[in-house]
Structure 1
Amino acid sequence: MVCKQRRSSRLIAQTGQMLLAHGAESTLVGDITRRIGLAAGMDEVEVSLSASSLVVTTVFQEHCITTARRSPDRGINMRVITDIQRICIMLERGIIDLDIAQHKLDKISPERYNRWLVLAMIGLSCAAFSRLAGGDWTVFMMTFVASSAGMFVRQEIGLRHFNPLMNFTVTAFVTTVISAQAVIYQMGNLPFVVMASSVLMLVPGFPLINAVADMLKGYINMGIARFVMASLLTLATCLGIIAAMSLVGIVGWEI
Protein backbone atom coordinates (compact mmCIF):
# COMPACT_ATOMS: atom_id res chain seq x y z
CA MET A 1 0.00 0.00 0.00
CA VAL A 2 2.85 2.38 0.86
CA CYS A 3 4.48 1.53 -2.49
CA LYS A 4 1.27 2.45 -4.30
CA GLN A 5 1.09 5.74 -2.44
CA ARG A 6 4.67 6.59 -3.31
CA ARG A 7 4.10 5.85 -6.99
CA SER A 8 0.93 7.92 -6.94
CA SER A 9 2.69 10.81 -5.19
CA ARG A 10 5.46 10.79 -7.79
CA LEU A 11 2.90 10.80 -10.61
CA ILE A 12 0.96 13.67 -9.01
CA ALA A 13 4.11 15.71 -8.37
CA GLN A 14 5.40 15.15 -11.91
CA THR A 15 2.02 16.16 -13.33
CA GLY A 16 1.93 19.39 -11.35
CA GLN A 17 5.55 20.10 -12.20
CA MET A 18 4.92 19.77 -15.94
CA LEU A 19 1.70 21.80 -15.85
CA LEU A 20 3.31 24.64 -13.92
CA ALA A 21 6.44 24.65 -16.11
CA HIS A 22 4.45 24.92 -19.34
CA GLY A 23 2.18 27.81 -18.41
CA ALA A 24 -1.01 26.32 -16.95
CA GLU A 25 -2.97 28.58 -14.62
CA SER A 26 -2.85 27.71 -10.93
CA THR A 27 -6.48 26.58 -10.70
CA LEU A 28 -5.92 24.05 -13.48
CA VAL A 29 -2.72 22.77 -11.87
CA GLY A 30 -4.46 22.21 -8.54
CA ASP A 31 -7.54 20.67 -10.11
CA ILE A 32 -5.72 18.21 -12.39
CA THR A 33 -3.30 17.04 -9.70
CA ARG A 34 -6.12 16.41 -7.23
CA ARG A 35 -8.20 14.56 -9.82
CA ILE A 36 -5.26 12.34 -10.77
CA GLY A 37 -4.56 11.60 -7.10
CA LEU A 38 -8.15 10.66 -6.36
CA ALA A 39 -8.37 8.56 -9.54
CA ALA A 40 -5.19 6.75 -8.44
CA GLY A 41 -6.93 5.75 -5.20
CA MET A 42 -5.65 8.36 -2.75
CA ASP A 43 -7.99 9.43 0.06
CA GLU A 44 -6.87 13.05 -0.03
CA VAL A 45 -4.54 15.21 -2.14
CA GLU A 46 -3.32 18.69 -1.25
CA VAL A 47 -1.19 20.88 -3.50
CA SER A 48 0.64 24.08 -2.59
CA LEU A 49 2.03 26.21 -5.44
CA SER A 50 4.69 28.89 -5.67
CA ALA A 51 6.23 30.67 -8.63
CA SER A 52 8.91 28.03 -9.29
CA SER A 53 7.99 25.01 -7.18
CA LEU A 54 5.15 22.96 -5.75
CA VAL A 55 4.53 20.82 -2.67
CA VAL A 56 2.24 17.77 -2.90
CA THR A 57 0.77 15.89 0.06
CA THR A 58 -1.13 12.63 -0.34
CA VAL A 59 -3.10 10.80 2.35
CA PHE A 60 -3.88 7.09 1.98
CA GLN A 61 -5.24 4.95 4.80
CA GLU A 62 -4.12 7.56 7.34
CA HIS A 63 -0.56 7.49 5.96
CA CYS A 64 0.78 10.84 4.75
CA ILE A 65 3.51 11.51 2.16
CA THR A 66 4.72 15.00 1.28
CA THR A 67 7.05 15.75 -1.62
CA ALA A 68 8.39 18.97 -3.13
CA ARG A 69 9.45 19.65 -6.72
CA ARG A 70 11.16 22.56 -8.44
CA SER A 71 9.38 23.73 -11.58
CA PRO A 72 11.57 25.98 -13.75
CA ASP A 73 9.92 27.76 -16.66
CA ARG A 74 9.95 25.62 -19.82
CA GLY A 75 7.96 27.98 -22.01
CA ILE A 76 4.25 28.06 -22.75
CA ASN A 77 3.07 24.87 -24.45
CA MET A 78 -0.63 24.08 -24.54
CA ARG A 79 -0.05 20.71 -26.18
CA VAL A 80 1.66 19.38 -23.05
CA ILE A 81 -1.21 20.64 -20.88
CA THR A 82 -3.81 19.08 -23.18
CA ASP A 83 -2.01 15.71 -23.19
CA ILE A 84 -1.90 15.70 -19.39
CA GLN A 85 -5.63 16.46 -19.24
CA ARG A 86 -6.29 13.47 -21.53
CA ILE A 87 -4.27 11.21 -19.20
CA CYS A 88 -6.29 12.50 -16.25
CA ILE A 89 -9.60 11.76 -17.96
CA MET A 90 -8.51 8.25 -19.02
CA LEU A 91 -7.33 7.49 -15.48
CA GLU A 92 -10.62 8.71 -14.01
CA ARG A 93 -12.65 6.54 -16.38
CA GLY A 94 -10.57 3.45 -15.70
CA ILE A 95 -9.27 3.20 -19.27
CA ILE A 96 -5.67 3.13 -18.00
CA ASP A 97 -4.10 2.22 -14.68
CA LEU A 98 -1.39 3.96 -12.65
CA ASP A 99 1.52 2.31 -14.49
CA ILE A 100 0.20 3.17 -17.96
CA ALA A 101 -0.55 6.73 -16.82
CA GLN A 102 3.06 7.09 -15.63
CA HIS A 103 4.34 5.68 -18.92
CA LYS A 104 2.21 8.08 -20.97
CA LEU A 105 3.30 11.02 -18.82
CA ASP A 106 6.96 10.14 -19.29
CA LYS A 107 6.47 10.06 -23.07
CA ILE A 108 5.05 13.60 -23.27
CA SER A 109 7.52 15.94 -24.93
CA PRO A 110 7.01 19.65 -25.62
CA GLU A 111 6.91 19.56 -29.41
CA ARG A 112 7.33 22.89 -31.16
CA TYR A 113 6.14 24.30 -34.45
CA ASN A 114 8.67 24.52 -37.26
CA ARG A 115 10.78 27.59 -36.51
CA TRP A 116 10.51 28.96 -40.06
CA LEU A 117 6.73 28.68 -39.92
CA VAL A 118 6.81 30.60 -36.63
CA LEU A 119 8.99 33.29 -38.21
CA ALA A 120 6.59 33.70 -41.12
CA MET A 121 3.47 33.80 -38.96
CA ILE A 122 4.95 36.25 -36.45
CA GLY A 123 6.01 38.49 -39.30
CA LEU A 124 2.57 38.33 -40.90
CA SER A 125 0.74 38.99 -37.63
CA CYS A 126 2.80 42.09 -36.79
CA ALA A 127 2.54 43.28 -40.39
CA ALA A 128 -1.23 42.82 -40.24
CA PHE A 129 -1.34 45.15 -37.23
CA SER A 130 0.55 47.75 -39.25
CA ARG A 131 -2.10 47.55 -41.97
CA LEU A 132 -4.87 47.87 -39.39
CA ALA A 133 -3.12 51.01 -38.12
CA GLY A 134 -3.34 52.55 -41.60
CA GLY A 135 0.03 51.65 -43.06
CA ASP A 136 0.51 50.99 -46.76
CA TRP A 137 2.16 47.94 -48.32
CA THR A 138 5.64 49.40 -47.85
CA VAL A 139 4.95 49.71 -44.14
CA PHE A 140 3.56 46.17 -44.21
CA MET A 141 6.72 44.74 -45.77
CA MET A 142 9.08 46.66 -43.46
CA THR A 143 7.13 45.47 -40.42
CA PHE A 144 7.26 41.90 -41.71
CA VAL A 145 11.04 42.06 -42.17
CA ALA A 146 11.71 43.71 -38.80
CA SER A 147 9.48 41.42 -36.75
CA SER A 148 10.71 38.27 -38.53
CA ALA A 149 14.33 39.25 -37.93
CA GLY A 150 13.55 39.99 -34.30
CA MET A 151 11.85 36.62 -33.87
CA PHE A 152 14.88 34.90 -35.39
CA VAL A 153 17.11 36.59 -32.80
CA ARG A 154 14.67 35.61 -30.04
CA GLN A 155 14.75 31.96 -31.15
CA GLU A 156 18.53 31.87 -31.34
CA ILE A 157 18.91 33.37 -27.86
CA GLY A 158 16.25 31.00 -26.52
CA LEU A 159 18.10 27.97 -27.93
CA ARG A 160 21.13 29.02 -25.89
CA HIS A 161 19.03 29.23 -22.70
CA PHE A 162 19.83 32.83 -21.82
CA ASN A 163 17.78 34.69 -19.23
CA PRO A 164 14.34 35.64 -20.68
CA LEU A 165 14.85 39.28 -19.65
CA MET A 166 18.06 39.47 -21.68
CA ASN A 167 16.28 37.71 -24.54
CA PHE A 168 13.48 40.28 -24.62
CA THR A 169 15.90 43.21 -24.33
CA VAL A 170 18.12 42.08 -27.20
CA THR A 171 15.16 41.10 -29.37
CA ALA A 172 13.49 44.49 -28.85
CA PHE A 173 16.79 46.24 -29.60
CA VAL A 174 17.40 44.40 -32.88
CA THR A 175 13.78 44.71 -34.00
CA THR A 176 13.69 48.44 -33.29
CA VAL A 177 17.01 49.10 -35.03
CA ILE A 178 15.72 47.39 -38.18
CA SER A 179 12.26 49.00 -38.08
CA ALA A 180 13.83 52.42 -37.45
CA GLN A 181 15.25 52.35 -40.97
CA ALA A 182 11.72 53.00 -42.22
CA VAL A 183 11.69 56.24 -40.23
CA ILE A 184 15.22 57.27 -41.18
CA TYR A 185 14.58 56.80 -44.91
CA GLN A 186 10.86 57.71 -44.73
CA MET A 187 9.54 54.47 -46.18
CA GLY A 188 5.79 54.25 -46.59
CA ASN A 189 3.01 56.59 -45.55
CA LEU A 190 3.35 55.95 -41.78
CA PRO A 191 6.94 54.89 -41.06
CA PHE A 192 6.54 55.16 -37.27
CA VAL A 193 3.86 52.46 -37.44
CA VAL A 194 6.62 50.04 -38.44
CA MET A 195 8.41 50.65 -35.14
CA ALA A 196 5.24 50.32 -33.09
CA SER A 197 3.90 47.20 -34.83
CA SER A 198 7.10 45.17 -35.14
CA VAL A 199 7.61 44.82 -31.36
CA LEU A 200 4.05 43.64 -30.61
CA MET A 201 5.32 40.04 -30.62
CA LEU A 202 7.04 40.83 -27.30
CA VAL A 203 3.84 41.71 -25.42
CA PRO A 204 3.58 39.10 -22.60
CA GLY A 205 -0.14 38.56 -23.05
CA PHE A 206 -0.38 34.98 -21.79
CA PRO A 207 1.50 35.59 -18.50
CA LEU A 208 -0.64 38.68 -17.83
CA ILE A 209 -3.86 36.75 -18.46
CA ASN A 210 -2.70 33.96 -16.15
CA ALA A 211 -1.71 36.48 -13.50
CA VAL A 212 -5.15 38.08 -13.47
CA ALA A 213 -6.88 34.68 -13.57
CA ASP A 214 -4.85 33.44 -10.60
CA MET A 215 -5.61 36.51 -8.50
CA LEU A 216 -9.32 36.37 -9.32
CA LYS A 217 -9.48 32.68 -8.38
CA GLY A 218 -7.75 33.05 -5.03
CA TYR A 219 -4.12 32.28 -5.88
CA ILE A 220 -2.91 35.73 -4.89
CA ASN A 221 0.78 34.90 -4.43
CA MET A 222 0.97 33.10 -7.76
CA GLY A 223 -0.87 35.91 -9.49
CA ILE A 224 1.46 38.54 -8.06
CA ALA A 225 4.55 36.51 -9.00
CA ARG A 226 3.35 36.06 -12.58
CA PHE A 227 2.35 39.71 -12.86
CA VAL A 228 5.78 40.82 -11.64
CA MET A 229 7.49 38.55 -14.17
CA ALA A 230 5.29 39.85 -16.99
CA SER A 231 6.04 43.42 -15.89
CA LEU A 232 9.77 42.70 -15.89
CA LEU A 233 9.52 41.30 -19.42
CA THR A 234 7.71 44.47 -20.47
CA LEU A 235 10.39 46.59 -18.81
CA ALA A 236 13.12 44.61 -20.58
CA THR A 237 11.37 45.20 -23.90
CA CYS A 238 11.14 48.93 -23.19
CA LEU A 239 14.84 49.10 -22.33
CA GLY A 240 15.72 47.43 -25.63
CA ILE A 241 13.50 49.83 -27.57
CA ILE A 242 14.90 52.90 -25.81
CA ALA A 243 18.49 51.74 -26.37
CA ALA A 244 17.83 51.22 -30.08
CA MET A 245 16.10 54.59 -30.46
CA SER A 246 19.03 56.29 -28.71
CA LEU A 247 21.44 54.55 -31.06
CA VAL A 248 19.67 55.60 -34.27
CA GLY A 249 18.76 59.06 -32.94
CA ILE A 250 14.96 58.79 -33.01
CA VAL A 251 13.19 60.69 -30.24
CA GLY A 252 9.81 58.92 -30.11
CA TRP A 253 6.90 57.32 -31.96
CA GLU A 254 4.98 60.02 -33.75
CA ILE A 255 2.01 57.97 -34.90
Structure 2
Amino acid sequence: MTEIENGLFENSEEIINWTYPGATLYYKDCDIHPSVVEKFTKDRLIRNGFFLDVSSRGGGMKFDTRFLIASAKAAKLYKVNPDNERFAHCCLNLDSYFKVLDIYKLEGKTQIFLLHIPAKSLRYFERVTSNWDDDFIKKARKSLDDKIHMEPISDLLEPFWLKRTNFPVGMNARNNFFPLSSVSTITKEEQPLYNAIKNLSNDKSQINIPTPFFSEQDNQSKGGGFWSKIFGR
Protein backbone atom coordinates (compact mmCIF):
# COMPACT_ATOMS: atom_id res chain seq x y z
CA MET A 1 0.00 0.00 0.00
CA THR A 2 1.42 3.39 -0.98
CA GLU A 3 1.56 6.48 1.22
CA ILE A 4 -1.23 8.07 -0.82
CA GLU A 5 -3.46 4.99 -0.59
CA ASN A 6 -3.17 4.64 3.16
CA GLY A 7 -4.30 8.23 3.66
CA LEU A 8 -1.08 9.61 5.12
CA PHE A 9 -1.19 12.67 2.90
CA GLU A 10 -4.92 13.10 2.44
CA ASN A 11 -4.86 16.26 4.60
CA SER A 12 -1.56 17.62 3.31
CA GLU A 13 -3.07 20.82 1.92
CA GLU A 14 -4.83 21.55 5.20
CA ILE A 15 -1.61 20.82 7.12
CA ILE A 16 0.43 23.16 4.93
CA ASN A 17 -2.18 25.94 5.13
CA TRP A 18 -2.29 25.67 8.94
CA THR A 19 1.49 25.66 9.34
CA TYR A 20 3.20 27.96 6.88
CA PRO A 21 1.23 30.98 5.60
CA GLY A 22 1.55 33.86 8.02
CA ALA A 23 4.14 32.12 10.21
CA THR A 24 6.09 34.63 12.32
CA LEU A 25 9.31 34.24 14.30
CA TYR A 26 9.06 34.26 18.11
CA TYR A 27 11.86 34.31 20.66
CA LYS A 28 12.49 32.52 23.95
CA ASP A 29 15.98 32.73 25.44
CA CYS A 30 17.02 30.35 28.20
CA ASP A 31 19.87 29.70 30.59
CA ILE A 32 19.96 25.90 30.41
CA HIS A 33 22.71 23.32 30.81
CA PRO A 34 24.52 22.16 27.64
CA SER A 35 23.52 18.56 28.40
CA VAL A 36 19.88 19.62 28.06
CA VAL A 37 20.55 21.50 24.83
CA GLU A 38 22.13 18.35 23.36
CA LYS A 39 18.84 16.47 23.78
CA PHE A 40 17.34 18.59 21.00
CA THR A 41 18.16 17.02 17.65
CA LYS A 42 17.17 17.94 14.12
CA ASP A 43 13.79 16.53 12.96
CA ARG A 44 12.66 15.62 16.48
CA LEU A 45 8.92 16.00 17.13
CA ILE A 46 8.01 17.70 20.41
CA ARG A 47 4.86 18.17 22.48
CA ASN A 48 4.88 21.12 24.85
CA GLY A 49 2.77 20.25 27.89
CA PHE A 50 2.20 23.80 29.13
CA PHE A 51 1.25 27.25 27.87
CA LEU A 52 4.30 28.62 26.08
CA ASP A 53 5.12 32.30 26.55
CA VAL A 54 7.24 33.84 23.80
CA SER A 55 8.11 37.30 22.52
CA SER A 56 7.87 38.72 19.03
CA ARG A 57 10.85 40.95 19.93
CA GLY A 58 14.29 39.62 19.19
CA GLY A 59 17.63 41.12 20.15
CA GLY A 60 21.04 39.99 21.27
CA MET A 61 21.47 36.98 23.56
CA LYS A 62 22.51 37.18 27.20
CA PHE A 63 22.02 33.44 27.68
CA ASP A 64 23.59 30.68 25.62
CA THR A 65 20.39 29.15 24.19
CA ARG A 66 17.62 30.62 22.07
CA PHE A 67 14.45 28.84 21.05
CA LEU A 68 13.33 30.47 17.82
CA ILE A 69 9.81 29.42 16.91
CA ALA A 70 8.03 29.83 13.58
CA SER A 71 4.31 29.87 14.24
CA ALA A 72 1.17 31.02 12.48
CA LYS A 73 -0.96 30.31 15.55
CA ALA A 74 0.54 32.32 18.41
CA ALA A 75 -1.91 34.47 20.34
CA LYS A 76 -0.85 38.11 20.76
CA LEU A 77 -1.79 38.46 24.41
CA TYR A 78 -0.24 41.92 24.65
CA LYS A 79 -3.13 43.19 22.54
CA VAL A 80 -5.58 42.29 25.31
CA ASN A 81 -3.19 43.16 28.14
CA PRO A 82 -1.37 46.41 27.26
CA ASP A 83 0.72 46.11 30.45
CA ASN A 84 2.69 43.37 28.70
CA GLU A 85 3.10 45.20 25.40
CA ARG A 86 6.75 46.01 26.08
CA PHE A 87 7.44 42.26 26.31
CA ALA A 88 5.55 41.72 23.02
CA HIS A 89 3.98 38.88 24.98
CA CYS A 90 2.56 36.10 22.81
CA CYS A 91 1.47 32.63 23.83
CA LEU A 92 1.20 29.22 22.18
CA ASN A 93 -1.43 26.91 23.54
CA LEU A 94 -1.17 23.98 25.90
CA ASP A 95 -0.07 20.86 23.98
CA SER A 96 1.40 22.70 21.03
CA TYR A 97 3.53 20.50 18.78
CA PHE A 98 6.81 21.32 17.07
CA LYS A 99 9.36 19.89 14.70
CA VAL A 100 13.02 20.77 15.26
CA LEU A 101 14.03 22.20 11.90
CA ASP A 102 17.56 23.31 12.73
CA ILE A 103 20.25 23.53 15.39
CA TYR A 104 22.52 26.51 14.70
CA LYS A 105 25.64 27.26 16.74
CA LEU A 106 27.34 30.63 16.42
CA GLU A 107 30.02 32.23 18.60
CA GLY A 108 29.23 30.07 21.62
CA LYS A 109 25.45 30.48 21.29
CA THR A 110 22.95 27.84 20.20
CA GLN A 111 19.71 28.55 18.37
CA ILE A 112 17.13 25.75 18.34
CA PHE A 113 14.67 26.46 15.54
CA LEU A 114 11.19 24.99 15.99
CA LEU A 115 8.31 24.83 13.54
CA HIS A 116 4.84 24.93 15.15
CA ILE A 117 2.76 22.17 13.56
CA PRO A 118 -0.82 20.94 14.05
CA ALA A 119 -1.47 18.05 16.39
CA LYS A 120 -2.74 15.67 13.74
CA SER A 121 0.21 16.23 11.40
CA LEU A 122 2.92 14.34 13.28
CA ARG A 123 2.92 11.34 10.98
CA TYR A 124 3.20 13.72 8.03
CA PHE A 125 6.05 15.76 9.47
CA GLU A 126 8.09 12.76 10.55
CA ARG A 127 8.10 11.64 6.90
CA VAL A 128 8.30 14.90 4.93
CA THR A 129 10.73 17.78 4.64
CA SER A 130 9.49 20.61 2.43
CA ASN A 131 11.06 23.44 0.51
CA TRP A 132 9.20 25.75 2.87
CA ASP A 133 11.39 24.38 5.66
CA ASP A 134 14.59 25.15 3.77
CA ASP A 135 13.49 28.76 3.29
CA PHE A 136 12.53 29.08 6.96
CA ILE A 137 15.90 27.70 8.09
CA LYS A 138 17.73 30.30 6.00
CA LYS A 139 15.65 33.07 7.58
CA ALA A 140 16.20 31.65 11.07
CA ARG A 141 19.97 31.51 10.65
CA LYS A 142 20.02 35.02 9.23
CA SER A 143 18.09 36.16 12.29
CA LEU A 144 20.89 35.00 14.57
CA ASP A 145 23.58 36.26 12.21
CA ASP A 146 22.00 39.72 12.34
CA LYS A 147 21.42 39.77 16.10
CA ILE A 148 24.48 38.01 17.54
CA HIS A 149 26.31 41.29 18.22
CA MET A 150 23.25 43.27 19.30
CA GLU A 151 22.54 44.16 22.91
CA PRO A 152 19.91 42.00 24.63
CA ILE A 153 16.49 43.61 25.03
CA SER A 154 16.37 44.81 28.63
CA ASP A 155 12.61 44.24 29.00
CA LEU A 156 13.10 40.55 28.25
CA LEU A 157 15.63 40.23 31.08
CA GLU A 158 13.25 41.40 33.77
CA PRO A 159 12.39 38.86 36.52
CA PHE A 160 8.72 38.79 35.46
CA TRP A 161 9.64 37.66 31.95
CA LEU A 162 12.42 35.28 32.94
CA LYS A 163 10.10 33.49 35.37
CA ARG A 164 7.74 32.81 32.46
CA THR A 165 10.33 31.80 29.87
CA ASN A 166 13.60 30.55 31.34
CA PHE A 167 13.14 26.82 30.74
CA PRO A 168 13.31 24.57 27.67
CA VAL A 169 10.42 23.96 25.30
CA GLY A 170 8.71 20.58 25.52
CA MET A 171 10.33 19.35 28.74
CA ASN A 172 9.08 18.74 32.25
CA ALA A 173 10.81 19.90 35.44
CA ARG A 174 13.25 16.97 35.18
CA ASN A 175 14.29 17.99 31.67
CA ASN A 176 12.61 15.00 30.08
CA PHE A 177 10.50 15.42 26.95
CA PHE A 178 6.75 15.19 27.33
CA PRO A 179 5.71 11.92 25.62
CA LEU A 180 3.91 12.16 22.30
CA SER A 181 1.87 9.11 23.29
CA SER A 182 -0.24 11.12 25.76
CA VAL A 183 -1.89 14.53 25.97
CA SER A 184 -2.50 16.95 28.81
CA THR A 185 -5.72 17.14 30.77
CA ILE A 186 -7.05 20.68 30.65
CA THR A 187 -8.18 21.77 34.08
CA LYS A 188 -11.18 23.97 34.80
CA GLU A 189 -8.80 26.81 35.63
CA GLU A 190 -6.87 26.38 32.36
CA GLN A 191 -9.90 26.13 30.06
CA PRO A 192 -10.57 29.90 29.71
CA LEU A 193 -6.99 30.64 28.64
CA TYR A 194 -6.96 27.61 26.34
CA ASN A 195 -10.14 28.82 24.62
CA ALA A 196 -8.91 32.42 24.47
CA ILE A 197 -5.67 31.43 22.72
CA LYS A 198 -7.62 29.40 20.16
CA ASN A 199 -9.88 32.37 19.45
CA LEU A 200 -7.10 34.96 19.32
CA SER A 201 -5.00 32.82 16.98
CA ASN A 202 -8.01 31.74 14.88
CA ASP A 203 -7.07 28.12 15.55
CA LYS A 204 -10.40 26.41 15.00
CA SER A 205 -9.39 23.54 12.76
CA GLN A 206 -10.07 19.95 13.76
CA ILE A 207 -6.55 19.19 12.57
CA ASN A 208 -5.11 20.70 15.75
CA ILE A 209 -6.97 18.69 18.38
CA PRO A 210 -4.28 16.83 20.39
CA THR A 211 -4.39 13.05 20.28
CA PRO A 212 -1.88 10.40 21.43
CA PHE A 213 0.71 9.68 18.74
CA PHE A 214 2.75 6.51 18.37
CA SER A 215 5.66 6.94 16.00
CA GLU A 216 6.44 4.39 13.32
CA GLN A 217 9.64 6.21 12.45
CA ASP A 218 11.90 3.47 13.77
CA ASN A 219 10.21 0.89 11.56
CA GLN A 220 10.08 2.82 8.32
CA SER A 221 12.64 4.14 5.89
CA LYS A 222 12.84 7.91 5.96
CA GLY A 223 14.30 8.33 2.49
CA GLY A 224 13.39 7.77 -1.13
CA GLY A 225 9.61 8.16 -0.85
CA PHE A 226 7.56 9.65 -3.65
CA TRP A 227 6.33 12.59 -1.57
CA SER A 228 9.73 13.22 -0.04
CA LYS A 229 11.10 13.69 -3.53
CA ILE A 230 8.32 16.12 -4.41
CA PHE A 231 8.76 18.24 -1.30
CA GLY A 232 12.53 18.17 -1.35
CA ARG A 233 15.42 16.06 -0.03
Comparing both structures, which one devotes a greater share of its residues to strand?
2
Q: Same fold (TM over 0.5)?
A: no
TM-score, length basis structure 2: 0.23
Which entry has the higher C-alpha Rg, 1 or 2?
A: 1
Kindly indicate which of the two structures has a greater share of residues assigned to helix.
1
